[in-house]
Structure 1
Amino acid sequence: MTDTSALHEIHALHVLIEDWFNARLPVSALDTLMARFTDDFSMVGVAGQRLDRDAVQALFAGSHGARPGLVIAIESVQATALPSPLAMLRYREGQGVEEGAIRWRESLAVLRQEHGQWRWLALHETASA
């Protein structure tokens, strides 16, 4: 069974990302945000492009405050049992700007526990209706 702290990490990271894009976090918090990702992290975004950790860091660095009013909703989180120290979670993520339409994506995340903290190892996102 997946540790409930891994389930909490899905929400916690997305709160940080929402705060980053809304500039509710200072620019100096980039290291705090990036500390949630493993050194070998990679993701495939909804556009189908694979990004490594350095590319994700560059994306965040260049987009601080770039989406004022962004709201991120996470729902339907499902855990799949994997051997420790890994966790795999599927979830549905919606992004919208305040009262605007929400664009949904289906996400599959693999997290690895390192030194007692869940860190993101891989993320795959697919656009969803």
Structure 2
Amino acid sequence: MSTSLYLQEVIDAHVEIEQWLSGAAPAEKLAPLLARFATQFSMVSPKGALLGYDDLSAMFNGGHGSRPGLRIHIDGFQIVQEWEGGAVVGYREKQALGNGDSNVRHSTAVFTRNAEDAVKWVHLHETFA
């Protein structure tokens, strides 16, 4: 049951990220996008930078429309570990820009889930493939 919940969250979040960074999403979509992430969110970027929620917020605030034509494809989804209130999942993310540039990254995400099945991103580690 929960596996599909986490998979859907990964897919839905990346749809929103794609729309935001490509510029397809209107400005009022920023708050719901940021609400997906816990305030204690942390991230290791593909280049090794350590980021917190404030960094993520600043990145999205300044990133609207910064990646024209962005397309994101998610595959290779797997549950690494799951427990009553969360999970660790892995997936592969392929990004392609309108100008033909592309990259692939392997990602591991930690999620929390409350009694109402609301999922929050707590940690994300991305590595370029």
TM-score range, shorter chain: over 0.9
Asked if structure 2 preserves the Cα contact closer than 8 Å seen for 1:21 and 1:68, the reply is yes
Q: Per-residue deviation at 1:4? A: 1.2
Count of aligned residue pairs for this structure pair: 128
**Structure-2 residue corresponding to 1:117:** 118
Unaligned 5+ segments in structure 2 are none
Matched, 1:23 2:27: no
TM-score (norm 1): 0.92
Cα deviation digits, residues 27-56 of structure 1 (max 9, x gap)? 121111000001111111111001100110
Asked if structure 1 preserves the Cα contact closer than 8 Å seen for 2:3 and 2:79, the reply is no
Alpha-carbon distance in 2 for matches of 1:70, 1:126: 19
Identity of aligned residues (%): 38
**Structure-2 residue corresponding to 1:66:** 66
Q: Per-residue deviation at 1:101? A: 4.5
Q: Per-residue deviation at 1:22? A: 1.3
Q: Per-residue deviation at 1:98? A: 3.7
**Where do residues 15-94 of structure 1 align in structure 2 (5 Å cutoff)?**
15-94=15-94
Alpha-carbon distance in 1 for matches of 2:117, 2:82: 17
Alpha-carbon distance in 2 for matches of 1:118, 1:6: 8
Alpha-carbon distance in 1 for matches of 2:82, 2:36: 20
Q: Which amino acid aligns with 2:12?
A: A
SS in 2 for 1:46: coil
**Structure-2 residue corresponding to 1:5:** 5
TM-score (norm 2): 0.92
